[in-house]
Amino acid sequence: MPPILNAQGLSKSFGASSLFRDLSFTVSDGDRIGLIGPNGAGKSTLLKILAGDEDADAGDVAIRKRARIGYVQQESTFASGQTVRYILEAALQKGHVAEGEREGKLREISGRVGLPDLMVEASTLSGGWRKRLAIAEAVVAGPDVLLLDEPTNHLDLAGIAWLEALLSEGSFASVIITHDRYFLENVASEIVELNRVYADGLLRVEGSYSKFIEVRQAYLESQSRLEDSLKNRVRTEIEWLRRGPKARATKAKARIDNANQLIDQLKEVSSRGQTVTATIGFEATDRQTKRLVELKDVSIELGGRKIVEHLNFLFANGTRVGLVGPNGSGKTTILRLLRDEIAPKSGEIQRAAGLRIVYFSQMRELPVGVTLRRALAPDSDSVVYQGRVIHVASYAQKFLFSGDQLNQPIERLSGGERARVLIARLMLEPADLLLLDEPTNDLDIATLEVLEESLLEYKGALVLVTHDRYMLDRVSNTVLGLDGKGTAAVFADYLQWEQWFASSQLGLKETSEDRPVAAAAQDNETKATGQGKKKLSYLEAREFATIEERVEAADVRLEAAQVRVNDPEIAIDAAKLTAALAEMEAAQAEIDTLYARWAELTEKAG
């Protein structure tokens, strides 16, 4: 059967800037494609072209006969006065679903999505529920392929889990633009990266995101070897050219032409290999005081609703708190409490004298009607960063902005660029306590990795609200979880909170294994200083029970790889030998990681 979508030779430019050239992209039955790439690579534009919402400058998109395409844009908005029922009925009619089947399909999809009321006005829904409704609108008519542009941006953690199940169980193919690495790992059967570093403009790898990382690394290493080889050959040819060969001789002329071709090829390979990432680094103050903010038996109410009751928690230097909970559970309210914008209903809050707090708002609040230059440096053409005076152009370059963009209005920047501007502004303010409310939206994976590294190096206290589970696991050393009913508890990691929250939703009684860590200030202080011994969590206990078996399996794979490396037939085949060596190195690295983890769990188990 032909592909559902078959795009060949696509090119697209905006002004003098080229997004992609001569790009080919196919979507077939059963594909679940994760589409990634740096900000500005043209991912959203490519999706619009595939959906038929935008034309390419060159190339064609062929759609299989009678194929249905569902498309969900980044921002989900609905006209005032339209109810949930009206929107879904309109989608069924547009999809030419038989009238007798419409009511059944409508009730089925609203039940799967969890929409509580079909007669509620769609424009009054929260961002997360509007996103769910937009996905339901695209799915209800039974598409052959579903195109999703950053679908996780407005979903809470429960919403992301729902979307993962929907895509994994759906009979339709899907193409999803997302930078959520766990989401990619759980859902995608193929990864496509749109990036100029690749000769074809993209790299397509069948398998999980982890598999893609391995293949991409091998590709980049091969490109590096190719570049080194070309440099050596070009150096030889240039030396020969300098000796002044006679161009009239046929062989000499051919060699001159070949030298020029090599030089052009080297330029092309070198230009593709040049990757640039943002430079991010938050600065802590030189405060010697360790205890920054302490909540003692704090209860919060907002609009007559309980947000949290009897919370005890210490924010100290080195504490990196992941604040999690369903939409509406009060995460942003707790950030407002820490900023002293609201007062608790009861309890006591002790703050260190002269406490300096820096806040990243999920609302992306930037000054209106100003240029990028004035957003970064309001009063001059210089900024002071880590005690040094830096010209605003050099500072902007750290965040991948060109000199031409300095006079561009803030309103014209993309979502990812606006996020980088906010981070750049925050970095100019030394902080004791850093509050980040959904900082990951619209950032590409390369920038996310740089942000994570900077947060791990930050010496002050950090509170992180994000739906990016990978960042939560990597950055936070403790998790403060909310259930939306007034209960808050402290956990060792996100997975422990997820299990507790699922149990609480089902009304199950806690066991000693899944009971949350006590939310005592002293426990927080111990976590912050890295002292004391933690017992194994429920998930760690399960991991500990199977790790010996996993080590044995890895040993078997290593032995098999070593046999392949020593095979005489493989030893004389460069390609097979390279693959066998890579397999052996991967198996050895896995064993080293497992043994290190085994030792860590053994120590914690006591």
Same fold, 5-213 and 538-605: no
pLDDT confidence of residue 532: 38
When pLDDT is averaged across residues 204-220 and rounded to a whole number, the result is 88
> How confident is residue 535, by pLDDT bands cut at 50, 70 and 90?
low
Distance, in Å, from the CA atom of 573 to the CA atom of 212, rounded to the nearest integer, reads: 25
Predicted confidence (pLDDT) per residue in 156-166, tens digit: 888 898 899 99
Top-ranked range on mean pLDDT: pick from 13-22, 347-356, 407-416, 440-449: 347-356
Where does 291-356+430-529 sit in CATH, by number? 3.40.50.300
Q: Residue for token digits 């006679």?
A: 246
Percent of the chain whose pLDDT exceeds 70? 85
Contact 464, 457 (CB under 8 A): no
* pLDDT score of 587 more than 90: no
* pLDDT score of 63 more than 80: yes
> How confident is residue 526, by pLDDT bands cut at 50, 70 and 90?
very low
Predicted confidence (pLDDT) per residue in 396-429, tens digit: 988 888 888 899 898 888 777 888 888 888 888 8
For residue 513, the Cα-to-chain-centroid distance in whole angstroms is 31
> How confident is residue 520, by pLDDT bands cut at 50, 70 and 90?
very low
When pLDDT is averaged across residues 429-449 and rounded to a whole number, the result is 87
Distance, in Å, from the CA atom of 65 to the CA atom of 329, rounded to the nearest integer, reads: 46
Contact 545, 598 (CB under 8 A): no
Element (DSSP H or E) covering residue 33: strand 32-36
Instruction: Give the CA count within 13 Å in the CB-facing half-sphere of 179.
Output: 23
Predicted confidence (pLDDT) per residue in 271-325, tens digit: 555 555 667 777 777 777 789 999 999 999 887 788 899 999 999 999 999 999 8
Residue boundaries of the structural domains of the chain: 5-213, 214-273, 291-356+430-529, 538-605
Distance, in Å, from the CA atom of 172 to the CA atom of 70, rounded to the nearest integer, reads: 10
* pLDDT score of 508 more than 60: no
pLDDT confidence of residue 244: 65
pLDDT confidence of residue 533: 39
DSSP string, 311-323: EEEEEETT-EEEE
Distance, in Å, from the CA atom of 23 to the CA atom of 31, rounded to the nearest integer, reads: 19
> How confident is residue 546, by pLDDT bands cut at 50, 70 and 90?
confident
Select the more confidently predicted residue: 441 or 282.
Answer: 441
For residue 497, the Cα-to-chain-centroid distance in whole angstroms is 21
Top-ranked range on mean pLDDT: pick from 400-404, 435-439, 550-554: 435-439
pLDDT confidence of residue 272: 54
pLDDT confidence of residue 513: 39
Within 8 A by CB and 6+ apart from 491, the residues are: 478, 479, 480, 481, 497, 500, 516, 517, 537
Within 8 A by CB and 6+ apart from 28, the residues are: 1, 3, 4, 173
**pLDDT, the chain, mean:** 83
Distance, in Å, from the CA atom of 209 to the CA atom of 52, rounded to the nearest integer, reads: 28
* pLDDT score of 61 more than 60: yes
* pLDDT score of 25 more than 90: yes
Q: Domain 538-605: which CATH class?
A: mainly alpha
What is the pTM (predicted TM-score) of this model? Answer: 0.71
CATH 3.30.2000.10 fits 5-213, yes or no: no
